Structure 1
Amino acid sequence: MSTRPVYERRPTGPRHHDFLARHAQVLSIAAFFLLMVVLFATQTNAFLSQVNLLNLLRQSAPLIIVAVAMTFVITTGGIDLSVGSTVALVNALAAILLQYGIPWPMVVGGMLLLGAGIGALQGWFVAREGIPAFIVTLAGLSILRGVALLLTQGFSIPIASDNWFVQIGRGWLFGIPLPAILAVLVMVVSATVLASTRFGRYVTAVGANAEAARRAGIDVRGVTTMVYVLTGAAAALAGIVIAARLGSGSSNAAVGFELDVIAAVVLGGTSLMGGRGTILGTCLGALTIAVIGNGLILAHISPFFTQIVTGLIILAAIWLNTKVFRGGRKT
């Protein structure tokens, strides 16, 4: 008589039910995004105009670029509050260097290295010294903004309009704003890395269970440091794009930017607890925030109201995120 155990196949529902369950949050933010588009399209005729849509893509590019990188950080269970200040520092320093006559390619390369270096330093404190990411990056938020203020003395630094540097923020390629093309490239590369590479799997594993990942032979400290390098470099790129688009550098650039970035990531379905991230969801979250800001302005509602809306979105997103990823358990 056979004593082999009998395994029963786990019952599964219809395929479309499984698909909906796996992609519930991305689908929900996609539906919310479409709802906002329809709402503002009915409120103002200018919203769906080609000029406004292209302008919306140009203005949302820095948010998408940094939010995509922040997805890696939050997927590991971390946070980076310093991205707005990094944007401001790069924004101001790039304008200063250009005024000194430094060639724009050297300025761009140097600023990207500076952003990556800032991220590496903060990642070192988080990964090697064990200081909570919230504390490290909160300190970075203050220090970096302070350095930007010190360099500019609070003044805006103009960038010559005939310098090719400004084309990074104002240029066009195939009828599409260059910043939007940069954002799409960042999104595609990041989505591929997170979903289809060893590093992406390590990022998810570290966020799911750092100790288990370490015992499995993953360099948890190295992965943690690298995700902060990514956000630093992305914030630097955003700072370059903003400086080029506005034709000036300012220490007051990107105030509150980190809140929009975090809101975009959380809205998109990335778990604040770590272990799960989605680049597509993040991009939809960023576009949703951009649409809300743009639509409120076109509807002649005070731009200060967007801060209230953004805050409410963050609160609602965190509440829903917690309910979904903790199974609705109360603590």
Structure 2
Amino acid sequence: LENIHFMLLPTYPNELPVNDIDINRFLAGLCFTSKHVMGGVYTRDGINDVIEMAEKIAGSPEALRKRPILSMIACGISPLRLDQKYGAFIIHLARKSIPIAVPVEPLCGATAPASLAGTLVIQNCDGLIHIMLSQLANPGAPVIYGSVATSINFQDMSYLGAPVESGLLNAATAQLAQFYGFPYYSTAGISDSKTLDAQCGYETAINNLLVTLAGGDLIHDAAGLMEFALTVSKEKLVIDNDILGMVYRAYKGIKVNKDTLALETIRSAGPGGNFVAQRHTRNHMHKEHYHPPLSNREKREIWLQDGGKSIAEKANEKVNELISQPSRFYIDQKLIGSLVQSFPKIRAEHFLGENNIRERKVK
């Protein structure tokens, strides 16, 4: 999915002991994608395991710091306080020089004022506290200012993942990050819908567009999440890839130069002319225009001939196509085998081919 640029670990394996979770989550991400992997962490021992494992995968501690293949998240708990556990994680990761995002999650009307401006005050205070903590632990440590700010459902006081106010809060926080010169970890793209319906599409699109145009550097939860971020949908990942492609095209804007103004081409076509066969059209039809791979743009007759499928049905077909392909490992199997030997917490059956598991059992 070409419009998803980094991987946020989306699930929590409840069946594992808590001390085993971090290393298995991060190895799963690193094994099956070439993209940067980011995720929350749950224990100090787990953090140390992940760092040591990543150093082996990168080739050395120096190589990992020079080109980090992963980053970690330590969430703050609003309002106006430092959580003891995650505060300790921030200090530890800063001293290890591992990139860390420190998002905070003020909830309008619950853990922050109901007014958006008041929530931004809480957001900024809490965010700066966590940035400060990392820099006191290790001046210059790589840290990312972050926001998961949103509002609640005032009918039942429950969390909402996709109100437009969340998009506004995260867009405004992007401007705060720019004021301070911080890289920014933002939130958008969740839907509160329980199915792949119109609500799912417009909530995802509106907030992703708001935050992107405001300058969000990293947008987490941008794809695949619905039902207040309780559900990961493979079909939504595929649909959101189209949405994010459109958002990214909007972000790039309109390029204005001698070539794109096309004055010579306009003169050549002349009054009443057309531009279909012009070389300029061939040169720019793909560079200037985004062609969403899943969206339907055919006439009704052609759409009906192809089965009259909804976007959800087409997404399901794409998902089945992708998962039917053989798993591609982005870490050499010999290295994975070495990691399994070094870290008994790793669940080998998820990361090694059947032949390697069989050989390991024989040994």
Q: TM-score, normalised by structure 2?
A: 0.20
| Structure with higher strand content | 2
Q: With the length of structure 1 as denominator, give the TM-score of the two structures.
A: 0.22
